[in-house]
């Protein structure tokens, strides 16, 4: 089982047409909900590494970080509750 740091990363991916990329969650507890791509940092991973990995895992896109807006820490369990 992977260890998580408690840090999360969320990407706002804007296309030239001023459209934002959303993903449709496929696992509980938020199955069927729309969200920005992102997730928890793995142990030893930077926030930047996290967002690049999570976007690739969730969308198949290779992205470059243009601007970092901020960081926050999340309390909770591995299942997101």
Mean pLDDT of 39-44: 88
At 76, is the pLDDT very low, low, confident or very high (cuts 50, 70, 90)?
low
Cβ neighbours for 53, distance < 8 A, ≥ 6 positions apart: 42, 45
pTM of the model: 0.74
**Multiple choice CATH, 4-59, 2.60.260.20, 3.90.79.10, 3.30.1330.10, 1.10.287.3510:** 3.90.79.10
Average pLDDT of the chain is 84
| Confidence (pLDDT) at 54 | 94
Any idea where the domains of the chain sit in the sequence?
4-59
Mean pLDDT of 58-72: 86
Cβ neighbours for 72, distance < 8 A, ≥ 6 positions apart: 8
- Give burial (CB, 10 Å; 0-12/13-18/19+) of 49: middle
At 61, is the pLDDT very low, low, confident or very high (cuts 50, 70, 90)?
very high
Mean pLDDT of 32-38: 95
């Amino acid at each position: 089982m992977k260890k998580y740091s408690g840090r999360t990363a969320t990407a706002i991916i804007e296309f030239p047409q001023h459209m934002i990329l959303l993903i449709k969650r496929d696992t509980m507890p938020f199955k069927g909900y729309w969200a920005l791509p992102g997730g928890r940092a793995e142990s030893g991973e930077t926030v930047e590494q996290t967002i690049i990995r999570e976007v690739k895992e969730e969308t198949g896109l290779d992205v470059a970080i243009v601007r970092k807006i901020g960081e926050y820490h999340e309390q909770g369990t591995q299942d997101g509750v």
